[in-house]
Amino acid sequence: MPEGHTIHRLAEDCRRLLAGWQVRVSSPQGKFADSAALLDRAVLDGADAHGKHLFLGFEQAGWVHIHLGLIGKVTFDGTVSDTVRLRIQGGRRGEHTLDLRGPAACELITEPEKQAIHARLGPDPLRPGEDPEPAWARISRSRVPVAALLMDQKVLAGVGNVYRAEVLFRHGVDPFLPGRDLTRPVWDAMWADLVELMRAGVRANRIDTVRPEHEPEAMGRPPRQDDHGGEVYVYRRAAMPCLVCGTEVRTQTLAARNLFWCPTCQPPAT
């Protein structure tokens, strides 16, 4: 499932390529045909993202709410296909095409319905001026492992399996530590780190979390080869040596996803 930086990058792309222009909207697959007909020839006048939710604004017609889920994908190549749920064509000369395939959600909603989605999501490190206090309030009262809380979109929006594993490693936090035992200074540092890491993810369109001294060139090691891309400390590195201490990276299922951590760099609290 795409993490928050991908959705914010898509919102930026939509604003850059399509916003401000009258667009053609269709549903080659047919499942969004009725709503597409209402939006066809309207102006796409905005794009917003909150966590893993993308919103495309259409004048007075409302917002298209998109959640990619596990298999959803957005492309801008205009490839002809009858599997496209939503197609938006526009730009100065109509030269840009957005195609949405396989989303978990694609629906036309009103402004109040959009606000209701925001209300049930936790703070998003990528939304300007976002207040992390509601996330801390929930984490600091919980007996649930912090690694599970970071994946709960009601607690913190946009953080997925990669960012949760990496930010816990970068701050030496045992993933099984109950949320209420996490200290405030560590939480503040983690939030600030997520803001910087995820912003970098939007710019690069990939996740990189290793510090300069652990880059391939600095360590004399080959670059990471993985369809996830990006240089990481523990994510998908089970049974491989930790880049910092050499201990074998471990994995275990937590919150229905594979967790990765280094037992030496992230020791249990005493």
How many whole angstroms separate alpha carbon 44 and alpha carbon 24?
10
| 3 noted as active-site residue | yes
Which residue, among 147, 130, 149, 125, has the nearest Cα to 198 in the 3D structure? 125
Q: Do the strands 73-75 and 96-101 form a parallel or antiparallel pair, or are they unpaired?
A: antiparallel
Residue 257 annotated as catalytic? yes
Catalytic residue among 9, 52, 164, 170: 52
Residue tagged active-site, from 3, 130, 166, 231: 3
- Identified catalytic residue from 206, 224, 250, 257: 257
Q: For this structure, is 211 an active site residue?
A: no
Is residue 52 annotated as a catalytic residue, yes or no?
yes
Q: Are 126 and 49 in contact (CB under 8 A)?
A: yes
Residue type, 144: V
Return the axis-axis angle of helices 184-204 and 161-170, rounded to nearest 10°. Answer: 130
Q: Known catalytic residues?
A: 2-3, 52, 257
